[in-house]
Structure 1
Amino acid sequence: MTSALPGLHPLSEPGAYDALLARMGARRFVLIGEASHGTHEFYRERAALTRRLIEDHGFTAVAVEADWPDAYRVNRYVRGQNGDHSAAQALGDFGRFPRWMWRNEDVRDFVTWLRGHNERRPQAQAGFYGIDLYSLHRSMDAVVAYLDGVDPAAAQRARQRYSCFEPYGDDPQSYGLATAYGVDEPCEDEAVAQLLELQRREAQTHGPDLLAGDDLFYAEQNARLALNAERYYREMFRGRLDTWNLRDTHMADTVDALAEHQRAQGLEPRIVVWAHNSHLGDARATEVSWRQGQENLGQYLRERHPGQTFILGQSTHSGEVLAADDWGQPGRVKGVRPALAGSVEAALHDLGVGDFWLDLQGEVPEALQAERLQRFIGVIYRPGTERQSHYYHTRLPEQYDALLYLDQTAALVPLDAGSGSDEGELPDTYPSGQ
């Protein structure tokens, strides 16, 4: 088959991304996914598209599938607000499994570029933010640290409230297990009270017509994260499927809160979101929604911002990936098996075009209109059970607005020799791996 197919744009052609960027640039929220957390080309192309959106279309923020405190250190670096001397140093708070997901050469290079862009164009700066919810204890510590600097009495109240979590140490799983079954009373009321106090502080300090300060916004988001993480860890041990929905709701709420904060600062918020396809591809077009009721970030943003959200998925047929065998184990380069016959990836490979992006909102090739298997690789890759572990049915044209297909791909290059699990809170992407 040839590139004469409607809506198919080979990357080998000059200006291959121009039409895609024109469509993306007309939206307020651009979601760029990935079919794995360990593929170099996914990170490279996503960064290249994001650079164009920031430079040419005035996008104001990059929001990534990472914890708020870890990413906020990077945000301060790209804005010249902290003492880090390099992008690699600014990425230093990403210390838990899987470190390679953000501590890799492609992210380092993008952060370096973003710092330079912000220095060159101080009136058109873009920030870097995390939207995930695993940093329960670090977020509580950040709330107290902020209040220590502005209101010691309020800091003491925060310590008192968060002391509810102290019997469980730094292990949120112990907290979740003890409170899920009524052995101990949950700390939800204390977390709610702390968030409400910070929200009252914002209203009293700034009023409805004044700009909200970044430091207070950072603290308030940490308090919101602590509340949602508390609920997440409790629900995890009740065996309910809605922990996924709770997590993705938190991510969508964080994107919206960031947009509102930027609007309060006098900006017109335009946000690029980086996350796995499983979070960004509209869940309503997937088997996990039809059978399990799973929802996701892409669905939420489409529902909340109709006509203002653009979703680009990424896919590959075969190659290599950086992934672990199991939780907490070091990442290693693994061969990615050729896509299963009948899958989305096999159909894209059979087009015989190589690397391309495909417009899914126009005339879609008949072979891709039907329900098909689609592959999802997170931070763990199990080739031996690939059909059961990494594939489920989807309807591609309903899932994304466009798809970037890279036929043969290579593994990410991590910044650290070992990328296993450190002591502390749960690993990013737990328990789904995505």
Structure 2
Amino acid sequence: MRDEEQQRHRMVEVQIARRGVRDPVVLAAMRTVPRERFVGAGMEEFAYADSALPIEADQTISQPYIVAAMIEAAEIGPDDCVLEVGAGSGYAAAVLGRIAGTVFAIERHETLARLARERLAALGYSNVEVRIGDGTVGLPEEAPFDAILVSAGGPDVPRALKEQLAIGGRLVVPVGEPGSQTLCKVTRRSAGRYEEEDLGAVAFVPLIGAQGWAEDGSRAASNHLAGASRKRSLPEMIAEAAEPLPAFDDPAFGRLFDRFADRRVVLLGEASHGTAEFYRARAAITRHLVEHHGFTIVAVEADWPDAAAIDRYVRHRPGREAAEPPFQRFPEWMWRNTEVAALVAWMRGHNDGIADPDRRAGFYGLDIYNMRGSIAAVLDYLDRVDPEAAQVARERYGCLTPWQRDPATYGRSALRRGYAECEEAVIAQCRALLARKLDYAREDGDSFLDAAQNARLVASAERYYRIMYYGGAESWNLRDRHMFETLQNLLDAKGPDAKAIVWAHNSHIGDARHTDMGAVRDELNIGQLCRERFGREAALIGFGTHTGTVAAATDWDGAMEVKRVLPSRRDSYERLCHDAGTPRFLLDLSPGRHEALRRRLAEPRLERFIGVIYRPETELWSHYSQAVLPEQFDAYVWFDEAQAVTPLGPEHRARGTVPDTYPFEE
């Protein structure tokens, strides 16, 4: 089977069948049509991604699942005559051509219509004809139609299309205001009787035409609803529920989050790794929860050994000198920036006034990447407390040393040399260290916790770098399980009254079950695991922005760049928040709060995720994913325009911005 065929089969299995499309005829047609032939030039490698893609004339080709779901809803038979409104590149018409007897596709853009004809002809679809015209008025000369599918959203169902249905015919069309569309199925039961069915929330481009929207976004003159009552828009409802945020240094900022102070775990997200406002907001919330509500664990999406150097600094703990400053692994700007430096300095000052070491707030890393640093930490600890065990550990870890500096290469080597080459050795070392827990803990509990967690990290990291080359959900799930288990170990070590604040990306702290991560890709994350373990005692708080700048790279291991963030898409949650008109706000999404808004927001929409890499030129398929915001988060923090973080450099020490003993800099 060729690679494209394999991708089509996987697309159908993962993106379509698992989401509930069951018609075997529809699934077979989706497996047959080569989607890569219908995307824009240069987009072929993304043809089987679970997203819409750009095509010519600034239009898009629909998400594969939506195409399949609409065709299934239309109940098309082999002898049916079908009309598709909004042919675009011709992809949906090609799928319809595999199922129906005759297909007419109408497209208002002449360039798109011409290209669609060429593509369909080249692939031999002789039963599909593409016309140029206003799709909202249909093709009365070819009516009646057994089924009509509309690939754009109108203010309501076009009257002309209803009238062109055969008796028993089905019309599937998105309707509603942009940002609050639903998929409507209309069945004509008699000459004057139609039945309508709501198939759920969708997001489509506007249906432009005489019985749709005008070019300026208003309703076309022939399609006004006489006497219709005005329904509050979603942005208006958001504006009503939004609680404006004061300045970061205003004590009132932190007090807005007192509603979550009784939780065991408060998880604070970010829509990108390189946005200053996200760091400053999380720092303000963290300071308030630590100072006023007894939180003593600050656990971040960072490597354990690097964070341990910061923890020794903020808790005034003695410890070995690090071989190199922490957070040298790419991307440095995530933690080596001025906002984190300010929080670390505050934590050190806060702890300075607390005599009991157990009540001091600590800084911990949850992540899995720094295998080299973890091995060094385990060996250093054993050298001090049990030299004989250290020698055994060196022998066990020996098989990993060629890959410590670039652990990703270990995955490639493990695939060639045996899947479990080091797994047994590192797990044995982890178990051996944990077995001595009581003996070691008598000497120094904090040091034991550090060494034990490093041993766990090495075992997890070995598996992570071995399986990451399989692709799919396995490596992601291993990483997030490791981070959750690290958090759980911290809470257990600090006692039943310990409370933690977690800093991680939205993709980690928002409940994965209510995004494409869980629904489509079988991925879980820390937020989901915390809800499953702690229930209401976990608060998941997401962050978002409309535009501004961000610190990011173009490629992995690339240099940091300050990039302009594109304005959010009009079919996204971010655009709803932007249109609400409040520049900075907290939106409480907890059950029982703003229930009417929660119901409206529960329609799946796009949400933006920017990580280490940001590629504005491919933003739709690189950085957007479907989500259900009020189920994903308990609250959402919004900054309409945000700026890139400022990474630390030598100039900060020269200006006295950081103290001489500060651990980030040499």
Match of 1:333 in 2: 562
Match of 1:428 in 2: none
User: Which sections of structure 1, spanning at least 5 residues, go unmatched?
Assistant: 419-434
Query: 2:535 aligns to what SS in structure 1?
Result: coil
Match of 1:425 in 2: none
Query: 2:614 aligns to what SS in structure 1?
Result: coil
Q: Are residues 1:66 and 2:302 paired?
A: yes
Match of 1:360 in 2: 589
Match of 1:24 in 2: 260
The structure whose Rg is larger is 2
Please say if residues 254 and 288 of structure 2, whose CA atoms lie closer than 8 Å, have aligned partners that are also in contact.
no
1:211 to 1:33, Cα distance in 2 relative to 1, 3 A: farther
The amino acid of 1:246's aligned partner reads L
* Inter-partner Cα distance in structure 1 for 2:280 and 2:402: 44
Match of 2:354 in 1: 121
Match of 1:256 in 2: 488
Match of 1:423 in 2: none
1:132 to 1:184, Cα distance in 2 relative to 1, 3 A: closer
1:122 to 1:241, Cα distance in 2 relative to 1, 3 A: same
* Inter-partner Cα distance in structure 2 for 1:367 and 1:184: 48
The amino acid of 1:155's aligned partner reads A
Match of 1:195 in 2: 430
Match of 1:101 in 2: 334
Match of 1:143 in 2: 378
1:375 to 1:184, Cα distance in 2 relative to 1, 3 A: closer
- Number of residue pairs the alignment of both structures matches: 409
Give how far 1:173 is off: 2.6
Match of 1:56 in 2: 292
| Structure 1 length-normalised TM | 0.89
Give how far 1:217 is off: 1.0
Q: Are residues 1:10 and 2:244 paired?
A: yes
Please say if residues 77 and 84 of structure 1, whose CA atoms lie closer than 8 Å, have aligned partners that are also in contact.
no
Please say if residues 419 and 466 of structure 2, whose CA atoms lie closer than 8 Å, have aligned partners that are also in contact.
no
Query: 2:520 aligns to what SS in structure 1?
Result: helix
Deviations, residues 114-134 of structure 1 (Å, cap 9, x unaligned): 000000233431000000001
Q: Which of 459, 473, 477 is the matching residue for 1:241? A: 473
Q: Which of 618, 622, 627 is the matching residue for 1:389? A: 622
Match of 2:533 in 1: 304
Query: 2:336 aligns to what SS in structure 1?
Result: coil
Please say if residues 327 and 336 of structure 2, whose CA atoms lie closer than 8 Å, have aligned partners that are also in contact.
yes
Query: 2:570 aligns to what SS in structure 1?
Result: coil
Give how far 1:314 is off: 0.4
The structure, 1 or 2, with the larger RCO (C-alpha pairs under 8 Å, 6+ apart) is: 1
Q: Which of 112, 137, 156 is the matching residue for 2:391? A: 156
Q: How do residues 27-38 of structure 1 correspond to structure 2 at under 5 angstroms?
A: 27-38=263-274
Q: Are residues 1:292 and 2:521 paired?
A: yes
Please say if residues 60 and 269 of structure 1, whose CA atoms lie closer than 8 Å, have aligned partners that are also in contact.
yes
Q: Which of 409, 412, 428 is the matching residue for 2:645? A: 412
Please say if residues 512 and 528 of structure 2, whose CA atoms lie closer than 8 Å, have aligned partners that are also in contact.
yes
Please say if residues 347 and 367 of structure 1, whose CA atoms lie closer than 8 Å, have aligned partners that are also in contact.
no
1:90 to 1:196, Cα distance in 2 relative to 1, 3 A: closer
Give how far 1:178 is off: 1.9
Q: Which of 361, 364, 379 is the matching residue for 2:612? A: 379
Query: 1:93 aligns to what SS in structure 2?
Result: coil
Deviations, residues 241-267 of structure 1 (Å, cap 9, x unaligned): 21000000000000000011111xxx7
* Inter-partner Cα distance in structure 1 for 2:320 and 2:483: 27
Query: 1:414 aligns to what SS in structure 2?
Result: coil
Query: 1:122 aligns to what SS in structure 2?
Result: coil
* Inter-partner Cα distance in structure 2 for 1:399 and 1:417: 40
User: Which sections of structure 2, spanning at least 5 residues, go unmatched?
Assistant: 1-234, 652-666
Please say if residues 374 and 393 of structure 1, whose CA atoms lie closer than 8 Å, have aligned partners that are also in contact.
yes
* Inter-partner Cα distance in structure 2 for 1:235 and 1:196: 22
Q: Percent identity?
A: 46
Give how far 1:324 is off: 0.8
Query: 2:436 aligns to what SS in structure 1?
Result: helix
Q: Which of 64, 80, 85 is the matching residue for 2:316? A: 80
1:65 to 1:169, Cα distance in 2 relative to 1, 3 A: closer
1:416 to 1:358, Cα distance in 2 relative to 1, 3 A: same
* Inter-partner Cα distance in structure 2 for 1:27 and 1:168: 40
